[in-house]
Amino acid sequence: MSITIMTKFTVVNLKPPCDNLTASNTREQDRFIKLRRKYLHIDVSDFYTVYVITFFVYLLFWTKVMLTNKLLTLVLVVQPGRVLLGMKKRGFGAGKWNGFGGKVQPGETIEQAARRELLEESGLTVDTLHKIGNIKFEFIGETELLDVHIFRADTYKGVPTESDEMRPQWFDTDKIPFIQMWADDVLWFPLMLQKKKFLGYFKFHGHDVIVEHKLEEVEDV
């Protein structure tokens, strides 16, 4: 029997010597045995290494590729020295103060969704929305990556009105209730109030603990 093994650089033909042994072909027989051991021997540790690598590749694939992107909007209405927030009354983030926003529906642009959600949740309309930030939120154990597009409005029409989802209230900019808000807000609100644009990523354990984050000021979003 002849065994041929292709390596990265060469082809090794492990053909055993003839059975009629002499001193010369005895050396060939020994060489064959050594080569066979070298190229065919698989250590148990090799299986363990392959298993570990496969596990981490699968984990990376699951956490990065399998996350589905969910488009959301957030609008902050700002006046000199104050900002309008809403107390979330139900659903995701209930019990926290936040801006006004929600899901982008099929057929809507992101800005159209932002205007619709602001009207539904606060009763306000705006002439101009300024795109000021984009933050992606990952929650450990969840399969959705929340892709939140953040807008600032400096003028508005109407009277802030309570809805089924939100109870609006004005806050002085030096008295923003960060303790009752999402943990990331305290990090990017100062940029928003200064009309600075930003990109961010926050990974949460549960809804209150940030385990990883990135936040950077940018020229455009």
Domains in the chain (CATH in brackets) are 3-63 (no CATH), 68-218 (3.90.79.10)
Confidence (pLDDT) at 27:
74
Confidence (pLDDT) at 55:
64
What are 87-115's pLDDT values in tens digits?
Answer: 999 988 899 999 999 999 999 999 999 99
Confidence (pLDDT) at 40:
54
Amino acid identity, position 136: K
Confidence (pLDDT) at 216:
98
Confidence (pLDDT) at 45:
60
With residue 39 as reference, give the H or E element that holds it: helix 23-40
Confidence (pLDDT) at 106:
96
φ, ψ at 17 (rounded to 5°): -70, 170
- Residue positions counted in the chain: 221
Confidence (pLDDT) at 74:
99
Nearest Cα neighbor of 131 from 184, 74, 171 is: 74
128 vs 113: CA distance, rounded Å: 14
Give the contacts of 129 (CB within 8 A, at least 6 positions apart).
75, 111, 114, 115, 151, 152, 153
In the chain, which stretches have pLDDT less than 50? Answer: 2-12, 14, 21
Confidence (pLDDT) at 44:
53
Give the contacts of 132 (CB within 8 A, at least 6 positions apart).
150, 151, 152, 191, 192, 195, 196, 197, 198, 221
Amino acid identity, position 75: V
